[in-house]
Amino acid sequence: MFKGSIPALVTPFRDGRVDEAAFAALVERQIEAGSHGLVPCGTTGESTTLSHEEHREVVEICVRTARGRVPVIAGAGSNSTEEAIGLLRFAKAVGADAALVVSPYYNRPTQDGVVAHYQALNDAVQLPIFIYNVPARTGSDVTPETMGRLARLPNVIGVKDATAQLDRVSRHTALCGKDFIQISGEDPTAVGFSALGGVGCISVTANVAPAQVAAVQDACMKGDYATARRLNDRLARLHRALFLEASPAPTKYALSRLGLCLEDVRLPLLPVASDAVRREIDEAMREAGVLA
């Protein structure tokens, strides 16, 4: 159920508010292009600057628009355990299929504290949970040994691993079991991640090139890594370009070039300012086949 290309959706804004129509259209575009799942309110969705009301609104629109055609993994993370529980409860209530829960950021808990956080979530809400491990943003790591402990919790079914440390796939398999669902959170290394035992990618690039990223993951799922590499080579420049400035500003610029949403991001982020970066994103989009 949870596999393949799963875009971490941007949250479009217009006049300072969530652009509901644009967001629903982005969901439809992803499904029509062959994406295998959806993540609203992740890091790329600017979840940290959404109000609680907006967060719930975005998750609900995604679930309602998807209508069960693909699974929805709702972002539900917080550095407050009680707040995360509330987001989990809402995701379950509106029909999300699972939740993506980032390891608590800024607080920098001990590994025992990380386990206690997820234990509390596991006990409070009966909804499948993916741990989101992204040390570059959270300031702390969920070690493979801790992941092995967390995998024993009934509702913890997998990980979004954004460490770019490919050796972790085998380590997680050994410590968490072969049924633990491992999904990459890093586009440039996603093919290698799948070759080692992963089953997909929660992708930023798929916002801009959904059909192309889905084709890469389709090839991976068939074990056709020659095709996956060939297709991914056309996306490599775009993978890099979308992080030339603070994400998701480059992604929103790219989507604006396709007429799909405005460039607007929320402070402290700013729209892409550099003409050189804009030109590089344009060229990367052309190389990927999404811009004429």
Q: Which of 3, 105, 118, 132 is catalytic?
A: 132
Q: Is 160 a catalytic residue?
A: yes
Q: Is 132 a catalytic residue?
A: yes
- Cα–Cα separations (whole angstroms), residue 114 to 70, 111, 282: 30, 5, 41
Amino acid at 14: R
Q: Which of 3, 105, 118, 160 is catalytic?
A: 160
Q: Residues 187, 7: contact at Cβ < 8 Å?
A: no
**156 - beta bridge partners?**
129
Q: Spell out the residues 6+ positions from residue 250 whose beta carbon is closer than 8 angstroms to its own.
A: 241, 242, 243, 244, 272, 277, 281
**Is it true that the peptide bond before 144 is cis, omega within 30 degrees of 0?**
no
Rounded distance between C-alpha atoms, residue 115 and residue 103, angstroms: 10
Rounded distance between C-alpha atoms, residue 202 and residue 217, angstroms: 11
Q: Spell out the residues 6+ positions from residue 137 whose beta carbon is closer than 8 angstroms to its own.
A: 43, 102, 105
Show the tokens assigned to 31.
């499904």
Longest Cα separation, the chain: 51
Q: List the catalytic residues.
A: 132, 160
